[in-house]
Structure 1
């Protein structure tokens, strides 16, 4: 058997006479990549082994070796080109297969077996195929837009709370503990995000799945089967953290927590009925409205007898910016409180139609209210920061694309908590500013209903002002993507939260 010192390629041809061929080029790769074969011949004699072989230089070769028809018609007596080459040896007095040596030589290409047009088409197809694979890999590892939006929201809230904590002594004129608002916010966010990893699989195994309405947008059909009733795990955690951080002597937190849990119970009943009846209607609208009014009226009467800390030493007051100052409402304060409970509860409920929309805007509304009421009732400011952190922790699982929905259990509870914070401090004006997205969504539904009924009475056929109400569904049908709508709502809510906090501070 022949052997060489280095760079031997065994092609397995028998002893043959090889002659040089004219220069040409060819492609052997199935993907269109060119492979050029270069040949030179020589007569080799070594240790008495008298036979002729060819020496081949190969730049690149595929496994599917095609394009060479025969080696038998090549001439004898070809010489090795170049002086420095590897030695080809064979066993004495026995025939063996020819072995070829890779050596530097003059480039000689084989004839082309594929025409130029087919070769270009194959190469183009291979390039396109590789680009598609590369794009799929990029899509696989691309960060979801919901994660980017949530990270931006968390960064904004953290910076805002750190700034407020840094200059809180100028606002309250009293020494507050370090990280007064940042601490409950962070603790609630971490606890809720961890609890979600336990609750989401549990709700999925118990078949607590969202049932979509037939009249909803068709693009939401992919959300069918998503677990719901997420308010069961993030609302109690937000209340508990506020209770622990603020201590046991805060009457305002007790009353606000009771109102929040009452609204959560109404939402829980609504969610249970919607699941058992296999449709997403739940409680009749008039029953839900009466229950909300009852909770709001009960909170108003409790507020009249409760001893809540206030710098004015008076109740039933609404602080407004100059030149209005303090406005005394008397008994109208109780009516206005019940109205805020109903409007805020339904406003958050109507906004909860896109992944992360209600949770993120509610977190911003809570932060705006916490800043606004900080000079009046600092304990309730802790409650607002804790509930904002609970909403942010919930967004870890509710951001686009959501793995769980908050349901009426969470949306009604958030609305009730915001209304209770405003009722305990009189900060109704900052409440409507910081909750501007909820107000806008509610107004869009009212406009849609009134416009439809008015055109039906005047024109004989009802027409719609929006393509679909609430407003976020109208924007979806106009062609805007869900993450873009949510990001826009976050930006508007951020501006409104800062403005609401400023109005509350100058009013107090």
Structure 2
């Protein structure tokens, strides 16, 4: 959000809607008023302007500040507290002088404010309070918008799962337990949301804070005190609930759980190194890529050597809609699996840049995959529903404005879980459809880098397609508000999830 910082000269105070000074004003300078309230206003009185208005000013500048939480680049930003926006001020003078002159403030509009005669200090404090209350009202409206988006997503997912459970017997052709997918979804969501009220304050006490890139949008500097590594509590809960409901003997769920925790371990190491270095650089890109390839390759060989339940007589098959049907990839299936692990892990990681963006879109992708794999492996459908519930429970703490971030621990784990579901069933095509947001975010980074390097070689100066990559940062810098971007991503992901689930059902 743009900074609400203004500089007003004394000559502007006579404009309609502001204040009128009916008599000369005497101010002792240099005087500086600082507000603890989150709204910003600079009032500068320059000597020539003051003389024209018959004011007496000893030095050249009087500064008055009130700050909004959306303001950035403020040197004492860390001193803010998450207060209620009440205004306060500190008066300081280099000569320890105080102004005993008075200012008369006449409201121009038809307010109920009476005409009062107050001192200069009280006038500035009153102005501070009024602007602070305006900023506080806007913050409440923005927070309500974040809650509305999250509630809408939860309602959509719950209704969709109830509908799938209602007609699941037609899909699987076998009787399933009541609330087969809704039950793990709700259990994970409730457990994660409750765990968040314990783990989030603990992460804050341990000062496990998010490291904000200097290259990112300036407004993101306000998030630098937000705890991170939220994946530590919502990923294990989602995996555990799936294992418990599907049964600890389920081979597919066990393999998907190991792959998920393996990617979570990579993200955990990256987050720890980032916090230790106090810089946004944990594991190097190549080391992280090699570790992801190692986990994906290991999962591929596990598929070759393990008997997994499948309606087909052989493995390494890729189900596609008619008229294509089943495609046998052979050894290429292993390469596709490794590529899927790497691309999905990094896709979710790149998407995790706005409050609630990665968590909500991942929940939709998990539900789509649960529907797609239901005819092939019903246990994996439980795993997907449980992970979706974990994302939703985490979203209650990660919604706009976020109280915690998932970090690489959570984002890489979600990507690994989605890839594992596709690799066990061959549902790669529905996966890439349901993960359309992740694909767009990763593609925007690739396009930006390639175009910049190509133009730098050809013309000696790099050019950019987007203002900033990934795509959500480009939209931010284009003037679109963060909740609007997230809401739009949810709508697009919802449509893609429905289509992906349909493609998966007709392919199976």
TM-score normalised by the chain length of structure 1: 0.74
Q: Tell me which stretches of 4 or more aligned residues in structure 1 moved more than 3 Å.
A: 118-125, 127-143
Change (3 A) 1:147 1:458: same
1:473 partnered with 2:473: yes
Deviation at 1:121, TM superposition (A): 5.7
Aligned position for 2:266: 266
Change (3 A) 1:136 1:213: closer
Partner-residue secondary structure (3-state), 2:255: helix
Aligned position for 1:162: 162
Aligned position for 2:204: 204
Q: Aligned partners of 2:502 and 2:297: how far apart in 1? A: 29
Partner-residue secondary structure (3-state), 1:144: helix
Change (3 A) 1:433 1:141: closer
Q: Aligned partners of 1:318 and 1:424: how far apart in 2? A: 11
What is the CA RMSD across the aligned residues, in angstroms?
2.1
Deviation at 1:248, TM superposition (A): 2.1
Greater mean alpha carbon deviation, residues 120-129 or residues 325-334: 120-129
Change (3 A) 1:279 1:242: same
Deviation at 1:283, TM superposition (A): 0.2
Aligned position for 1:320: 320
Aligned position for 2:276: 276
Q: Aligned partners of 1:135 and 1:177: how far apart in 2? A: 53
Answer whether contact 2:296 2:338 (CA < 8 A) is retained.
yes
Q: Any gaps of 5 or more consecutive residues in structure 2?
A: 1-104, 116-125
Partner-residue secondary structure (3-state), 1:307: coil
Partner-residue secondary structure (3-state), 1:216: coil
Deviation at 1:280, TM superposition (A): 1.0
Q: Aligned partners of 1:470 and 1:120: how far apart in 2? A: 47
TM-score normalised by the chain length of structure 2: 0.74
Deviation at 1:249, TM superposition (A): 2.1
Q: Aligned partners of 1:121 and 1:159: how far apart in 2? A: 53
Q: Aligned partners of 2:136 and 2:336: how far apart in 1? A: 56
Greater mean alpha carbon deviation, residues 462-471 or residues 130-139: 130-139
Aligned position for 1:145: 145
User: What is the CA deviation profile of residues 105-158 of structure 1, one whole-angstrom value per residue up to 9, with x for unaligned ones?
Assistant: xxxxxxxxxxxxx99969646289999999788658656211000000000000
Deviation at 1:304, TM superposition (A): 0.5
Aligned position for 2:113: 126
Aligned position for 2:354: 354
Q: Any gaps of 5 or more consecutive residues in structure 1?
A: 1-117
User: What is the CA deviation profile of residues 59-78 of structure 1, one whole-angstrom value per residue up to 9, with x for unaligned ones?
Assistant: xxxxxxxxxxxxxxxxxxxx
Aligned position for 1:228: 228
Partner-residue secondary structure (3-state), 1:376: coil
Deviation at 1:307, TM superposition (A): 1.1
Partner-residue secondary structure (3-state), 2:468: coil
Aligned position for 2:12: none
Q: Aligned partners of 2:252 and 2:338: how far apart in 1? A: 17
- Residues paired across the two proteins, number: 391
Aligned position for 1:430: 430
Deviation at 1:313, TM superposition (A): 2.2
Q: Aligned partners of 1:211 and 1:120: how far apart in 2? A: 45
Deviation at 1:502, TM superposition (A): 0.0
Deviation at 1:371, TM superposition (A): 0.2
User: What is the CA deviation profile of residues 411-463 of structure 1, one whole-angstrom value per residue up to 9, with x for unaligned ones?
Assistant: 00000000000000000000000000000000000000010011101111000
Q: Aligned partners of 1:119 and 1:412: how far apart in 2? A: 59
Equivalences for residues 244-263 of structure 1 within 5 A: 244-263=244-263
Partner-residue secondary structure (3-state), 2:113: helix
Answer whether contact 2:274 2:281 (CA < 8 A) is retained.
yes
Q: Aligned partners of 1:507 and 1:144: how far apart in 2? A: 41
Q: Aligned partners of 1:177 and 1:459: how far apart in 2? A: 64
Q: Aligned partners of 1:119 and 1:424: how far apart in 2? A: 73
Q: Aligned partners of 1:295 and 1:491: how far apart in 2? A: 32
Deviation at 1:302, TM superposition (A): 0.3
Change (3 A) 1:248 1:452: same
Q: Aligned partners of 1:206 and 1:132: how far apart in 2? A: 34
Q: Aligned partners of 1:135 and 1:419: how far apart in 2? A: 47
Q: Aligned partners of 1:247 and 1:234: how far apart in 2? A: 20
Partner-residue secondary structure (3-state), 2:313: coil
Aligned position for 1:333: 333
Equivalences for residues 369-384 of structure 1 within 5 A: 369-384=369-384
User: What is the CA deviation profile of residues 341-373 of structure 1, one whole-angstrom value per residue up to 9, with x for unaligned ones?
Assistant: 000000000000000000000000000000000
Aligned position for 2:365: 365
Q: Aligned partners of 2:418 and 2:108: how far apart in 1? A: 65
Answer whether contact 2:366 2:384 (CA < 8 A) is retained.
yes
Answer whether contact 2:364 2:388 (CA < 8 A) is retained.
yes
Q: Aligned partners of 1:154 and 1:140: how far apart in 2? A: 23
Q: Aligned partners of 1:396 and 1:127: how far apart in 2? A: 44
Partner-residue secondary structure (3-state), 1:211: coil
